[in-house]
Amino acid sequence: MGSVGGNGKTELPRATINMEARADVAAWAYALHVTEQDLTDAVAKVGNHARAVIPYILKRAERPARPDGMTSEARRQASRRRRKGAVDPRSAPR
C-alpha cells in the first residue's frame, strides 16, 4: 500500500488500484467514500486505472438530499419567481 506521508496520512498510489491487495482496496474505498463492493464493481466496469475509476464513482454518487427537500433546480426556479414579482426599489413610490 502507499506510504505514510509527512502529515501522517496514507498516500494512495496514483496510477492503478491493486485489487489483489486488501489494504489497497480498503484505502481506496475509504478515500473515495464508497464501500469495497462499490469499488470492486467500478473496477470491474471501467478497469483499475484511478483516472477511470474516480470519475466513474463521482458520476454515480448520489447527491445527498437537501434538508428542505428541494433540489437545486427547484430552488433556482423559486428564486426566479421571487425576483420576477419583486418591485425594483428604484421604481417604487416613496
Instruction: Spell out, as residue ranges, where the chain has pLDDT lower than 50.
Output: 1, 3-5
Per-residue model confidence (pLDDT) at position 59: 87
pLDDT tens digits for 17-34? 999 999 989 999 998 889
Q: How far is CA 58 from CA 9, 33, 62, 82, in A?
A: 22, 10, 9, 33
- Computed over every residue of the chain, the mean pLDDT equals 76
What's this model's pTM, rounded to 2 decimal places? 0.53
Share of the chain above pLDDT 90, in %: 35
Domain ranges of the chain: 22-85
